[in-house]
Amino acid sequence: MGESLPATTLVIFGVSGDLSQRYLLPALAEICQDQQLTEKLQILGISRQALTTGKVLPPRAKGLAGKFDLLQLDYGSSADYAKLKARLGQHVSSQVVIYFAVPPDAVPPIIKQLGKAGLNTPKYRLLLEKPFGRDLASAQQLIDSTAECFKEKQVYRIDHYLAKEMAQNLAVFLGANAMFRDIWSAKYIEKIEILALEHIGVEGRANFYEQTGALRDIVQSHLLQLAALVLMKPCDDFSDVNVLPRRRLAALRRLRLAGEGGSATRAQYGGYGVDVGQKGSKTETFVSLTLESSDARWKNVPITLSTGKRLDQKLTEIRVYLKKVGGSRPNLLRLRLHPNEAIELDLWIKRPGYDQKLQTLPLNFVYGRHFDRLPDAYEQVIVDAIRGRANLFASSAEVLASWRILQPLLESWQRGSAKIRTYRPGSSVEEVLEKEN
């Protein structure tokens, strides 16, 4: 992975929770296999219950035992934060990164307690999971309350899609390859589609999903960030960690809902109400909406974002449809984030034989054919946060810009002006969009 990480204590609030057990601790175990990289890393797990290291570390993370310590702490007790401060004073670390693997409602009170305890000096850094609010007003309130204790440069808001290798490579792909850089505009591109599709349903996240829905869970963060990466002005200075957030923000600020009143397709898979124990629920498990950009480079290019659960496939992909120019035929460029990260361009060829028949065949680059292993998004997030590289994290301005795009749609839904379709589990996106109630 490269040079050693700086001397760091990684504090994990909610270390015994599902997020830590399934993703965070296994990712840390993978990182720590490179002993030279992590020789100066210490991990302090925070739990409200009295636990032992053996019980906390899952089987895939037992190798962390030598770097791992535990502290029982009452999240609401000022005295316990003094105890945390004393414990951190025993660590020889140049910085402390605090990871919040706790429910969203627990985050603001903990941040306030950290500030009161003086655990907010420049050596401290916050690593926050989404959601970042439920709408524009709540997102602004969350940002303002955090800013009372921590400066913006100390706050790292995680978007795991930005940390995926394909998403990271988008800037390089578009900026370093002239064949794409020079055609990356409305002159050559007809439309753009960004998909995040899942086979599974809510899978044990009923309470969270019933309060959130597809728009807040996936579109507001992940899909809008991918749209910003695709639409931003291509760059060639990839060493500047500040250039990507600036360009993503510029792209987000020029996006708006297309059509009158911000119309969108809103749907729910059959049986969802039973899954969450809420018959008659109006929470959407599928949403598809179209955006447009005020940037002259993207004039009249529709950008469609679609996501849903219990569909016919698991797929996260960006599709760029190139225009037919002159006597040419249109081509399709696919940038696939999952599964099997790849870049694929459909090219027209003449089929072998005596007849002049054409067909498309893919020209592709598949990561798995060239690299043994891609870092997990959680691994990338942790390493970049420790190194202080902010380009994979959403700034407060980006969070607010994304909520501003969706606010008219949220208000429309709150007025009850959008009916919810029902679709059969296993449907394709096309079937959901075409279905009539």
Measured distance CA(387)–CA(109) in Å, rounded? 27
Active site residue 370: no
> How many helices (H) does the chain have, and how many strands (E)?
17, 17
The secondary structure element, H or E, covering residue 42 is strand 41-47
Cα separations in angstroms, 304 against 226, 258, 288, 418: 12, 10, 7, 18
| Residue 151, SS3 per DSSP | coil
Strands 358-366 and 342-350: antiparallel
The one catalytic residue among 199, 222, 338, 370: 222
For residue 61, which amino acid is it? Answer: A
Measured distance CA(279)–CA(425) in Å, rounded? 17
Going along 75-202, which residue ranges are E strands?
A: 95-100, 124-128, 155-158, 189-197
Q: How many CB atoms lie within 10 A of CB 314?
A: 12
DSSP tag of 221: I
Measured distance CA(76)–CA(74) in Å, rounded? 5
| Residue 384, SS3 per DSSP | helix
Active site residues: 222
